[in-house]
């Protein structure tokens, strides 16, 4: 495409799911799949995606804090991410694949921590009143299976991974509640399947909804 030639606004695709759902394993594949369909793709993540966002990520994953502080910091990181990374990419016609977005705040801070739903809605309306992902892939599976996947990884757990099973079940339930309320945007993927089965499902879902 020549310099200055019109390019339609890009699309925002987000991945969601409880810790250990297996979503991060598919980010590179999706970027390559979209690249093979002529899209310029930016892969990013939340919390994070900017130098400030990555500093906030470290605090969020390791520093004890009030659950409302946690929600506010997630949206603070998101505001910076939208301003400096996501919106500019979409405006220049690039597609953005983001590992988590506001559905995670709904699921973890509202579903998991008990943040008042109205406060979540107020934050979402403040930070991105006119933007929702074009497609969200929700990697769903029982928390016990996800927990087993994390347990075999020999590494320290972050604040969220350290939470007990009932927390992750509340997060899972909140994600499914969110998906039921937005069936066009959120597509549920059975994440307990083999990676190659999931990979094919992801490509079929993106082709059906976005290409």
Ligand X SMILES: Nc1ncnc2c1ncn2[C@@H]1O[C@H](COP(=O)(O)OP(=O)(O)OP(=O)(O)O)[C@@H](O)[C@H]1O
Ligand Y SMILES: Cc1cn([C@H]2C[C@H](O)[C@@H](COP(=O)(O)O)O2)c(=O)[nH]c1=O
Cβ-based nearer residue to ligand X, 90 or 179: 179
Confirm or reject binding of residue 80 to ligand Y (CB under 6 A): no
Phi first, then psi, for residue 35 (nearest 5°) are: -60, -40
Helices (H), the chain: 27-36, 51-62, 67-81, 87-91, 102-104, 117-127, 143-151, 165-181, 195-209
Gap between the Cα atoms of 50 and 52, Å rounded: 5
137 binds, among ligand X, ligand Y, none (CB under 5 to 8 A by kind): none
Confirm or reject binding of residue 47 to ligand Y (CB under 6 A): yes
Q: Are 98 and 11 spatial neighbours (Cβ–Cβ below 8 Å)?
A: no
For binding to ligand X (CB under 6 A), which residues are involved? 17, 19-25, 149, 153, 194-195, 198
Cβ-based nearer residue to ligand Y, 58 or 204: 58
Contact string 139-168 vs ligand Y (x = CB under 6 A)? ---------------------x--------
Cβ-based nearer residue to ligand X, 90 or 137: 137
| In 77-199, beta strands by DSSP E | 95-99, 135-140, 186-190
Confirm or reject binding of residue 108 to ligand Y (CB under 6 A): yes
| Number of Cβ within a 10 Å radius of residue 58 | 12
**Interface residues with ligand Y (CB under 6 A)?**
19, 46-47, 74, 99-100, 104-105, 108-109, 160
């Amino acid at each position: 495409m020549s310099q200055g030639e019109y390019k339609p606004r890009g699309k925002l695709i987000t991945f969601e799911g409880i810790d250990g759902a297996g979503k991060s394993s598919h980010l590179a594949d999706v970027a390559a799949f979209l690249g093979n369909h002529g899209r310029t793709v930016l892969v990013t993540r939340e919390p994070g995606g900017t130098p400030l966002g990555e500093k906030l990520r470290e605090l969020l994953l390791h520093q004890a804090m009030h659950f409302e502080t946690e929600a506010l910091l997630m949206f603070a990181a998101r505001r910076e991410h939208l301003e400096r990374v996501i919106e500019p990419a979409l405006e220049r016609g690039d597609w953005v694949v983001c590992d988590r977005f506001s559905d995670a705040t709904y699921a973890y801070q509202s579903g998991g921590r008990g943040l008042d739903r109205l406060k979540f809605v107020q934050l979402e309306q403040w930070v991105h009143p006119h933007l929702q992902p074009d497609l969200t892939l929700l990697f769903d599976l029982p928390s016990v299976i996800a927990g087993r996947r994390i347990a075999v990884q020999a590494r320290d757990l972050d604040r969220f991974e350290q939470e007990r099973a009932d927390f992750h079940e509340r997060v899972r339930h909140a994600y499914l509640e969110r998906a039921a309320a937005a069936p066009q945007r959120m597509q549920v993927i059975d994440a307990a399947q083999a990676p190659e089965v999931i990979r094919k499902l992801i490509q079929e879902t993106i082709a059906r909804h976005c290409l």
